[in-house]
Amino acid sequence: MRGNPHYLFAAKIGIKITIYAKDPSPNATRFEHEDRAAQVRDMVVVALHKAIGKKKNRWSITHASFTEPQDLVGSPTPGGAVYELQLWVDRGIYDRAWDGSGRPSATLADGGGLSSTTKVSLKGDPNDTDHTTPPSDAETSCGS
């Protein structure tokens, strides 16, 4: 037996990535700094796509734009470019103990399988006397 954590739901985890870029050319213009930042942004998005895609998690970019660093507001000379990328990633949330273990589970024997039969009857059926055990004339609704 081993403990498999019980999956509860997927949560959207918010992520903010800030890219600081500076073109190495002397006297580079704002456009050149922004072009370098856009190139880095594209590389980051491709890397995210590959990494998140391996787990087949859903994700989405929610905001992407250049921003003005507070220490450069009003500066006549651009010192680089800053690009902010905000996104969310679905991440599975599991019921785990503090040590990371999950609930105990059992392994089925080879060639074994599960079968399930559900008996149903209408509410108020006169043959359904205790309301917990379906009457013998109840219909089979699924499985066998």
DSSP code per residue over 87-107: EEEEEEEEE--TTS--EEE-P
119 vs 111: which has the higher pLDDT: 119
In this predicted structure, what is the pLDDT of residue 5?
81
Q: Token pair for residue 89?
A: 């990633």
135 vs 83: which has the higher pLDDT: 83
In this predicted structure, what is the pLDDT of residue 2?
47
pLDDT more than 90, % of the chain:
39
Tell me if 91 sits within 8 A of 57, measured CB to CB: yes
Q: How many whole angstroms separate alpha carbon 115 and alpha carbon 62?
A: 45
Q: Token pair for residue 135?
A: 């009457």
Does pLDDT of 105 surpass 80?
Answer: no
Q: How many whole angstroms separate alpha carbon 120 and alpha carbon 136?
A: 10
Does pLDDT of 24 surpass 50?
Answer: yes
Helix (H, G, I), strand (E, B) or coil at 111: coil
Q: Which residues pair with 140 in a beta bridge?
A: 119
In this predicted structure, what is the pLDDT of residue 62?
96
Q: Give the residue extent of every domain in the chain.
A: 2-95
Residue 144 pLDDT level (bands cut at 50, 70, 90): very low
Q: Token pair for residue 144?
A: 């066998």
Task: State pLDDT tens for residues 40-75.
Answer: 999 999 999 999 888 888 999 999 999 987 777 777
